[in-house]
Amino acid sequence: MITIKEIARQLNMSTTTVSNVIHGKAGEVSDDTKKKVQDFLDKVDYVPNINARNLAQNESKIIGLALKARADKYENLIMDPFVSVLIGGVEETIRNAGYFMMLYISSDTGEIMRHVSTWNVDGLILFGMLNDDGIRVSEKYKKPIVCIDTYSLEGLKHFTNIGLDDEQGTYDMASYLISQGHKKIAFLSDNMNGVDLARLNGYKKALKDAGIKYKETNFLKIRPRAEDIDESLEEICKRAPEFTAIMCVSDLYAVTLMSALEDRGIKVPDDISIVGFDDNMLGQLHRPALTTVHQDVKAKGVTAADTLLKQLKGQKTPNQIKLPTRIIVRDTVKNIKTDNKESYKDIFSKKRNDSYSCK
């Protein structure tokens, strides 16, 4: 790899002159030499050594994207189709801004932070991995941090968060179910923290506003670990007849559940209505096609990256951005209203099998 020094030697001039041409410092070098240098640069296909540049400038032009890897390999976040879309959004945005992306998958916040400071990363996007320990460690490294989908209250105080209006999403969906005559609505999720909790709350609120009482028994817990998913599903399917509809915290759960119900001869939506959250391929391709809450995952990645880039430029950014959701009505909800005077379909346009991308 040719260096500035070598170029300067061959052109019989100083390195600073060459450097000035490279950086387009107009007025500091005559048009004549500028052209001479530029031609030479093109000829030898000069590429700067980024390590030297970063060392001299004390910056890295790297943005780190840290993804939580759960301890259980079956649940590794990276395995979720969702994630690659998000990565794509981040990468595209920062590349267009002249930054590079270093991807890091780990559940050890300390390790992440060490990595970040080793590489002198300019900024950090955290996805799914902000706990209180993480916050404590990250305070030491004064780099801008943007979180995606964090619900850590402590974290919200310190960092920008890019999230979703989860509560509104489930509120709308539960309201839709209620409008279709459903009263016995279960909520299926695997925990009561973070995103899951926010979604649960939206659902609860809709019930409350409709005058329906929420009972603890409405909460169906799914255990997604590979070893016990079967017994988990068995139990949920057994309890399904208690309800006329089940709201699932994600499309993945919804589709998983539908498959399990189908295996046991329970028909969706005739026997029970099922709805999801996310609007991914899984639900789009399933038959009956899944009625769900749509979120724009790529926009999440793009917004997170944009926000971080703004912070790097010293611009102020809101410390909480909630992207909107909208419900997508497909074929997994049955209208069980006896009084059919006013159809909800008039309000929520029924959109069948939205086009999606393939391969």
Partner DNA sequence: GGCGGTTACTTTTGCGCATAAGTTGTACGC
Partner DNA sequence: GCGTACAACTTATGCGCAAAAGTAACCGCC
Residue 285 C-beta: closest distance to a second copy, Å? 5
Our finding on whether 78 is near a second copy (CB under 8 A) is yes
Do residues 151 and 292 make contact, with C-beta atoms less than 8 angstroms apart? Answer: no
Do residues 99 and 157 make contact, with C-beta atoms less than 8 angstroms apart? Answer: no
Our finding on whether 15 is near DNA (CB under 7 A) is yes
Q: Which of a second copy, DNA, none does 30 bind, CB closer than 5 to 8 A by kind?
A: DNA
Contact positions with DNA (CB under 7 A) in 22-81 = 22-23, 27-30, 32-33, 48-49, 52-53, 55-58
CA–CA separation, 72 and 79 (whole Å): 12
CA–CA separation, 209 and 110 (whole Å): 44
Residue 30 C-beta: closest distance to a second copy, Å? 28
Question: With CB under 7 A as the contact rule, which of the stretches 17-25, 185-193, 194-202, 281-289 interacts with DNA?
Answer: 17-25
Q: Which of DNA, a second copy, none does 19 bind, CB closer than 5 to 8 A by kind?
A: DNA
How many binding residues for a second copy (CB under 8 A)?
68
- Per-residue mark of binding to a second copy, 291-330 (x: CB under 8 A): ----------------------------------------
Q: Which two tokens stand for residue 27?
A: 């007025």
Residues forming a β-bridge with 185: 245
- The nearer residue to a second copy, 60 or 179, going by C-beta atoms, is 60
Our finding on whether 104 is near a second copy (CB under 8 A) is yes
Our finding on whether 253 is near a second copy (CB under 8 A) is yes
Q: Which of a second copy, DNA, none does 108 bind, CB closer than 5 to 8 A by kind?
A: none
Do residues 203 and 171 make contact, with C-beta atoms less than 8 angstroms apart? Answer: yes
- The nearer residue to DNA, 114 or 264, going by C-beta atoms, is 114
Residue 32 C-beta: closest distance to DNA, Å? 6
SS3 content of the chain, % helix, strand, coil (to 5): 45, 15, 35
Helix residue spans in the chain (DSSP H):
4-11, 15-22, 31-44, 50-57, 81-96, 109-118, 132-140, 153-158, 166-179, 194-209, 229-239, 251-263, 281-285, 297-312
Residues forming a β-bridge with 65: 103, 125
Do residues 302 and 276 make contact, with C-beta atoms less than 8 angstroms apart? Answer: no
Nearest to 286 by CA among 324, 248, 323, 325: 248
Q: Which of a second copy, DNA, none does 156 bind, CB closer than 5 to 8 A by kind?
A: none
H or E element: which one contains 161? strand 160-164
Nearest to 236 by CA among 253, 215, 216: 253
Contacts to a second copy by CB under 8 A:
1, 45, 47-52, 54-55, 60, 74-76, 78-81, 83-85, 87-88, 91-92, 95, 100-106, 114-115, 117-120, 140, 190, 222, 224-226, 229-230, 250, 252-253, 255-256, 258-259, 262-263, 281-282, 285-287, 289, 353, 355-359
Contacts to DNA by CB under 7 A:
1, 3-5, 12-17, 19-20, 22-23, 27-30, 32-33, 48-49, 52-53, 55-58
